[in-house]
Structure 1
């Protein structure tokens, strides 16, 4: 339920341009300069002359738990500016997240879990800190309030009544298990069998409070009702055993949803000190019950204390703990089609190049491994393979080229065979270019550019449309022929500015839609079961996605899945904020969402000792906080938030270049056309293997979300 707040978008002003609807400590003005409003025509202006004020509204609303939000943009720090409600507060900290093409975006500032007691009073406040700089400018817009829950005690909505039993299991509002705590003084396995269930699909949720310090801590569910001994991934009979009976290390994809337990790693409840007492909901979606019984449980093991002669034993405050409360089991409304599956994996395109440059991949113990087979045996169930038309010198973008033979279709076909052999699904990404594409660079392939040379604009669009179809269809036919039909096909890469520029720019949506639909037509004809993806960057920017995919809808673009690039650095948003964005976007367009790219620093600098592409980890901290453990915990947090999006509408995450390791400094993103000088590696501090190629703890996020 959305609560109406007076003049939430600052559209109403008096004759002097002063804000109406808010109580303020001084007159404060709006602006209607072009681009200054998030929506509508006006926004609240922040500058040196229009600051040092408190805006407030006192509302009387229905008791409950509420989330509040506002949109902010600024070209500098807002210092101690705050967004407050009923004694809760968050900083308004926005400098405008800068995207890879230099564009600054609006930030959503969220204040969550505000309690409105039985008196119904909600006091909303926006405090703007005094601004000293004459060059500072910022805007605030679209204040929103949404009721998200009932007033309860215990775990943020948990009943806390300690009830145990099966009566009415699956009924809304009734817990199915007692609250309990596990502590890291040894391995733990708590479980409960629930009988008398109707066969079908279920979702399990539980409120958790986990401060961290675990080697593994996950919730599991076995729809046969007969969970085996739960152990590490790869142990025969374990809850997440990653190997098939034939010893190949390939899990049977079809059986995975029904024949073995599924797991959800428990995220840390706090990445900020002020959140330590807050609870998080863990969601385990896609449970299939056959035979009327279900076993649910928790498995936990603390991080090993290496300098303690007693091994895993911990004492006192060193012992981690995790609280569980409000266990709820609900019947999934949609029982047709395949059970929900969260696709998690990463981009493997660089593997051949890195290996040819001397890179060696290793498991956690330091043993050399095939990185693709290793990933498939340790929690990945999907890979991304991106392809360019024709790489090599002379096919450059902005003076830089990719070595010939890499990233091309023939290279991708080999990777597809390896991925299928490792039991993983394939996401195949057409870039429709000879080099990297992103919102700032969408270059027509050189061979295609020669084909349209001298044509009129209309003739060029016709020819490019034919070329997109022919190239897409030919590639997919080759994938089919070798038995590696992709489950997902993306048409273009980060096409926020369009593709095949300038013909397919956003100023020419008719042409852009024709290019998309040419690729889509090839997919529908050659791979009718494959899902078509449109991929845009800046995941979390609701307005951008509403506008972009609204235009795609208006122009009749044929696609199945919305896809985002989501980096806490580029967006300055948390996993929870992304999930809230995903709820809005999937609801608006009725399409599921998949994250095409995610990246997170595991250490502050690259292997060359220089800062990498990601200067920080956004809400998760600056470069000084980067660590392998934080990278792992971020991924666990992200996967959990995706599973929690209603109706299973968030379907996966693909990590960006997890394999582009340092390899003694011989791996480069591109080479300079003029002298063949390597351009360096700006992502080897965000990979899932360290500088020496050893697997990082991040793989635990995949193992325990299987």
Structure 2
């Protein structure tokens, strides 16, 4: 079902940046008094390798066939996010899928963000099911399993010279992960010790394998508005992580742009961590392109200031980039576009396998 929703939304807004180093493959801002720092203009391509099994022909606005990674890189994309499941059930990425696509990403000199779900299926604030291989373990044994699994994944990526630049420990872990062992919600609010002990084992595995200190570790909360409570609770445990990852979907969260900016600034000032908007999306149309209902199909799901048009979508992204860049103390490090059905284009497997990037609004935005 996820693939049915995802099939033709991969070619998202291609983003370009203003690099001050013409010889660099990254999009960097350099201040005289600060270390060179990358601003990430990213996209989630977790299902791209599966989509290619359908011989999809990507085309630009002029109708010319293109290679997707080359095209989006030429428009400024410098980060690719890939989701990883333990024992995939429905075509999601397993380790071999990740290894193969990571080689392609790194061959383009692009940054790589690895998103561990620590589940066999989709993990989110309402579902954090441990992999079937880890069911009924004791907490002690589960910590060993988390450590060994994480270390094995990183070790295999390291051996083929495709270490991630960023590792995301869990997906949308607002309420913890690996339920009920690490659940921190409702009756399990006092379970922060178990949750952080599991996260610490994953982090320990990454740090041990990352002997050159090249990897940044991110923890991901799904809601800009409500994330302060989560990271406040983590402070007691002194977890060794580098980046606060956040999602912002206007159809689910506040549409008050000033509140979004305020929350981001508060996070930066309070926790002194880099902030990556690791899941963002916005529609360019409410019209259907097939016989499926759009995920975003009403103006009630959009922001008043940004119409669901190509121009409105571009304006939204420009607002978002400016907001991230204005986070205090240079803590806003970028974004990653995760296209939901309706935020770009819906289609089904029975449609002709051609994607026209001009049709789905592949324009450049200065970051």
> Within 5 Å, which residues of 2 pair with 1:358-437?
358-392=55-89, 402-403=90-91, 406-437=92-123
Deviation, structure 1 residue 663 = 8.0
Deviation, structure 1 residue 583 = 0.6
* Correspondence for 1:535: 220
Cα separation, 1, equivalents of 2:305 and 2:261: 22
Question: Deviation digits for residues 172-202 of structure 1, max 9, x if unmatched?
Answer: xxxxxxxxxxxxxxxxxxxxxxxxxxxxxxx
Q: Secondary structure at the match of 1:601?
A: coil
Residue of 477, 483, 497 corresponding to 2:175: 497
What are the ranges of 5 or more consecutive residues in structure 1 without an aligned counterpart?
A: 1-217, 224-240, 245-250, 258-285, 290-334, 393-401, 453-459, 668-680, 682-689
* Correspondence for 1:252: 25
Pair 1:381–1:574, CA change in 2 (3 A):
farther
Deviation, structure 1 residue 588 = 0.7
Cα separation, 2, equivalents of 1:414 and 1:699: 28
Deviation, structure 1 residue 616 = 4.5
* Correspondence for 1:186: none
> Within 5 Å, which residues of 2 pair with 1:163-182?
none
Residue of 139, 152, 156 corresponding to 1:461: 139
> Within 5 Å, which residues of 2 pair with 1:88-127?
none
Q: Determine if the alignment matches structure 1 residue 472 to structure 2 residue 150.
A: yes
Cα separation, 2, equivalents of 1:219 and 1:252: 11
CA RMSD of aligned residues (A): 2.9
Cα separation, 2, equivalents of 1:428 and 1:349: 10
* Correspondence for 1:652: 334
Residue of 159, 177, 180 corresponding to 1:481: 159
Kept in 1, the 8 Å contact 2:276–2:334? The answer is yes
Q: Determine if the alignment matches structure 1 residue 348 to structure 2 residue 68.
A: no
Cα separation, 2, equivalents of 1:221 and 1:416: 24
Cα separation, 2, equivalents of 1:472 and 1:616: 41
Kept in 2, the 8 Å contact 1:469–1:521? The answer is yes
Residue of 629, 638, 643 corresponding to 2:320: 638
Pair 1:598–1:502, CA change in 2 (3 A):
same
Deviation, structure 1 residue 467 = 0.9
Kept in 2, the 8 Å contact 1:607–1:691? The answer is no
> Within 5 Å, which residues of 2 pair with 1:620-699?
620-621=303-304, 625-657=307-339, 665-666=348-349, 692-695=355-358, 696-699=360-363
Q: Secondary structure at the match of 2:333?
A: strand
Residue of 158, 170, 195 corresponding to 1:512: 195
Cα separation, 2, equivalents of 1:612 and 1:371: 24
Kept in 1, the 8 Å contact 2:292–2:346? The answer is no
Cα separation, 1, equivalents of 2:333 and 2:40: 6
Cα separation, 2, equivalents of 1:442 and 1:492: 9
Q: Secondary structure at the match of 1:570?
A: coil
Residue of 556, 568, 579 corresponding to 2:250: 568
> Within 5 Å, which residues of 2 pair with 1:261-280?
none
* Correspondence for 1:51: none
Question: Deviation digits for residues 641-685 of structure 1, max 9, x if unmatched?
Answer: 111112111111000037998685118xxxxxxxxxxxxx9xxxx
Deviation, structure 1 residue 474 = 0.6
Q: Secondary structure at the match of 2:109?
A: coil
Cα separation, 1, equivalents of 2:134 and 2:239: 23
Kept in 1, the 8 Å contact 2:288–2:346? The answer is no
Deviation, structure 1 residue 222 = 5.9
Of stretches 382-391 and 611-620 in structure 1, the one that deviates more from structure 2 is 611-620
TM-score by length of 1: 0.45
Q: Secondary structure at the match of 1:367?
A: coil
Pair 1:663–1:613, CA change in 2 (3 A):
closer
Residue of 289, 293, 296 corresponding to 1:614: 296
Deviation, structure 1 residue 576 = 4.7
Question: Deviation digits for residues 498-529 of structure 1, max 9, x if unmatched?
Answer: 11111110021111001110111011111232
Deviation, structure 1 residue 422 = 1.8
Structure with bigger strand share is: 1
Counting matched residue pairs gives 341
Structure with bigger helix share is: 2
Cα separation, 1, equivalents of 2:133 and 2:17: 52
Q: Determine if the alignment matches structure 1 residue 339 to structure 2 residue 36.
A: yes
Bigger Rg, structure 1 or 2: 1
Question: Deviation digits for residues 293-341 of structure 1, max 9, x if unmatched?
Answer: xxxxxxxxxxxxxxxxxxxxxxxxxxxxxxxxxxxxxxxxxx34x3233
Deviation, structure 1 residue 605 = 4.2
Q: Determine if the alignment matches structure 1 residue 551 to structure 2 residue 244.
A: no
What are the ranges of 5 or more consecutive residues in structure 2 without an aligned counterpart?
A: 1-15
Higher relative contact order (CA 8 A, sep 6+): 2
TM-score by length of 2: 0.84
Q: Secondary structure at the match of 2:238?
A: coil
Kept in 1, the 8 Å contact 2:59–2:354? The answer is no
Cα separation, 1, equivalents of 2:344 and 2:56: 7
Deviation, structure 1 residue 470 = 0.7
Deviation, structure 1 residue 691 = 8.1
Deviation, structure 1 residue 572 = 3.0
Cα separation, 1, equivalents of 2:18 and 2:129: 47
